[in-house]
Chain A
Amino acid sequence: MNRNLSRIIALSAGAIAIALPLFAGDYPLQVARNVMMYMALAITWDMLLRSGQISFGIAGLFGLGAYAGILGMIRGGMPAWLSIPFAAFVAGFAAFLIGFMILRLRAMYFSIVTLALGEIFRIIIHNLHDFTGGPEGIVIQQGVIFGGSSSKLYWLTLGGLAVAIAASYWFEHSKIHFALTAIRNNETSAKSSGIDIFKWLLVAFVVTSAIQGLLGGIFVQSYGFATPETVFSADFTLLPLAMALLGGVYSTVGPIFGAILLGLVAEWLKLKIPYGHLVVYGIIIILVILFMPNGLLGRIRQTTGKRAGRTA
């Protein structure tokens, strides 16, 4: 694709996204917020995937951030705006500490441990009744950000998405890109070219986790409450994963593309089928892995004759 053309498309898409609340009603804004939330998570998942590490712990870090934000506000007396960066900080710091332990693990062991850590966060929060509100959750009584105005909340979520896109862009256009790609392709050769594997994995893990925490912080501000079941919901792991896979991994555009497609389909299905609409996600994951491991974007690139990315 022509460089200028894609820049124009990106700019106009951004302009439309910013201007949306001026002409859209509450329901479309709500849908757009959900889609953007999942899109941002899909991008962060993909950023870590670029190093070959597959995380099943998105929901864990998202939920951790969500609780950090809400508890910072209610127990710590923080103003609402501060609770969001605080959520990012807590998730990032937790990832930093955990990273020392788990970033030596590879393949399925890494994935399983991230999933287990997410569950541990959930159980701890579930069980600390007095501090976190336990299974019933916790509600922000007063001081919700922007007084709950739906267009301002939309812009807030858009801001979270912008952070994710910017970080992903930074990952794509700096030397991190080469480090992560080299680690993914062959660790031994990456090491022998002088790449500090652990350091770059830690950077990627901390940055992606912090953004996931940030999104969690935005999520609780938008809804005004958190329960272990909602913020640690498996959806926050599942949907982003399916979106990134469908759109095409190892890029920023792929997850965006997949999130728009799947997000809108999901919102529509949610109205039609209250139970089990997620079955579509399972089937999409299966079909994509079997028939187009490069995602839709990879397919398009292949057919337009451009060099496709390495198979996932």
Chain B
Amino acid sequence: MMAPKQRTAILAGLAVIGTIALLAWKPTVVIYGLQAAGLYASIAIPMGLILGIVHIVNLAHGEIMMVASYATYFACKALGMDPLLAIIPAALVMAVFGWVLFQLTIKRALKAPELNQLILTFGIAIALSQSINLIFTSQTYKLQLDYVSSSIDIGDLSFGTWSFVFVAVAILFAYGLKYFLTKTTTGKAALAVGQNPRGAAIVGIDVNRMDALVFGLAIAMVGGMGALFLTKSAIFPSVGGPFTMKSFCLIAMAGVGNIPGILGASLLLGISENILRAFRDTRAWADIVFFVLIIVVIMSRSLKGRKS
């Protein structure tokens, strides 16, 4: 494999140049692109953590966030609480959920072929989204919050500011995890498991416990995101699904194990989508960007893999 850092640097450089040009031309594209990128990255980073260390493609990732959003919604309705206060409780509850899910299902499939793992998490995704569908039907739920509609006017430019919170979370996640994995003992052990489970076991790391811990941590992160996501978006059973695919695409673009790289990849996706959204004629095609991007990324990786 070519050094993923080098590629990220190139991507980041291109992104910066493009951003400056765009900022002069259509400032809202950059602003909304940045906000979208923050949302994508903060959901993708926990999935990247699982893929990098537990080596499982968790196709139920977005659905798990959706479940967290539903739980938060009903907790907030019942207690009259603000979803922002629910972030930490949601994360804790989802950590337990993730741990149980790991022990019951994922653990048993770790040694199985990759296809089994893929189908297993696919099954979990369906089970989760359909259970919610079963209980709450496909009706949408939305919280009305004043602070979400706050906006800023600069000259003739007016845009919402609340979504910048996702950018902050994404940066916090990326660098918090980097700190955790390289500076703390537990984190180093987890990183060792990710790099070489066998070697980690030989030097006395409990691989199974580490996997469970990392899985729980990642689910906690996405659970907290579920609460935060609720502030901005209406929720319905299939709201999480697209984020699974997007997250996977972003991880594949950044390279497995390169968590800060996900930030750059998200920026590319967020801005390209918003360029198409900026024009009436191309607006409907914004959804396709991502699927084209995922294919281009995977294809170019496979070509590169064959050359080396």
Contact = CB atoms under 8 A, between A and B. Distances in A.
B128 A282 contact: yes
Interface string A270-293: 000101111101111110011001
Interface string B260-289: 000000000000000000000000110110
Interface in B106-153: 108-109, 112-116, 118-120, 122-128, 130-135, 137-138
Contacts of A311: 112-113
A294 to B, nearest CB: 11
A126 B287 CA distance: 11
B166 interface: no
Contacts of B109: 289-290
A312 interface: yes
Given A113-B298, A238-B126, A311-B113, A54 B248 contact: no
Contacts of B124: 282, 286
A286 B127 contact: yes
B292 A120 contact: yes
A285 B302 contact: no
A308 interface: no
B120 A286 contact: yes
B245 interface: yes
A104 B105 CA distance: 31
B113 A285 contact: no
B81 interface: no
A285 B138 contact: no
Contacts of A289: 109, 112, 116, 119-120, 123
Contacts of B114: 107-108
B105 A286 contact: yes
Given A124-B288, A127-B285, A275-B133, A109 B298 contact: yes
Contacts of A241: 119, 122
B10 interface: no
A204 interface: no
B134 A123 contact: no
Interface string B66-106: 00000000000000000000000000000000000000010
A290 B113 contact: no
Contacts of A293: 112, 116
Interface centre among B114, B127, B128, B306 (most CB of A within 10 A): B127
Interface string A96-130: 00000110110111011101110110011011000
Nearest to A121: B291
Contacts of B294: 112-113, 116
Contacts of B201: none
B288 A123 contact: yes
B116 to A, nearest CB: 5
Given A120-B288, A278-B130, A282-B127, A104 B120 contact: no
Q: Is the interface of B mostly helix, strand, loop or mixed?
A: helix
A312 B130 contact: no
A70 interface: no
Nearest to A238: B126
B21 interface: no
A282 B248 CA distance: 21
B128 A117 contact: no
Which range contains the number of A residues in contact with the other chain? 35 or more
A185 to B, nearest CB: 11
Contacts of A275: 133-134, 137-138
B285 A123 contact: yes
Q: Is the interface of A mostly helix, strand, loop or mixed?
A: helix
A245 interface: yes
Interface in B213-270: 237, 245, 248-249, 252
A112 B123 contact: no
Nearest to A119: B291
Nearest to A115: B245
A241 B119 CA distance: 9
A277 B134 CA distance: 7
Interface in A228-269: 238, 241-242, 245
B165 interface: no
Nearest to A116: B291
Nearest to A127: B284
A177 B105 CA distance: 33
B57 interface: yes
Given A107-B114, A289-B120, A293-B112, A101 B134 contact: no
B133 A279 contact: yes
B291 A123 contact: yes
Contacts of A127: 284-285, 288
B242 to A, nearest CB: 9
A111 B118 contact: yes
Contacts of B119: 54, 241, 245, 285, 289
B239 to A, nearest CB: 14
A119 B112 CA distance: 29
A116 B245 contact: yes
Contacts of A276: 130-135, 137, 237
Interface of B: 57, 105, 108-109, 112-116, 118-120, 122-128, 130-135, 137-138, 237, 245, 248-249, 252, 284-285, 287-288, 291-292, 294-295, 298-299, 301-302, 306
Given A276-B131, A285-B122, 5 more contacts: A102-B299, A104-B306, A116-B294, A119-B291, A293-B112
20 contacts: A101-B299, A104-B306, A108-B57, A109-B302, A112-B248, A112-B252, A113-B299, A116-B295, A117-B291, A117-B295, A119-B245, A123-B285, A276-B131, A276-B137, A281-B126, A282-B127, A283-B127, A289-B116, A290-B120, A311-B113
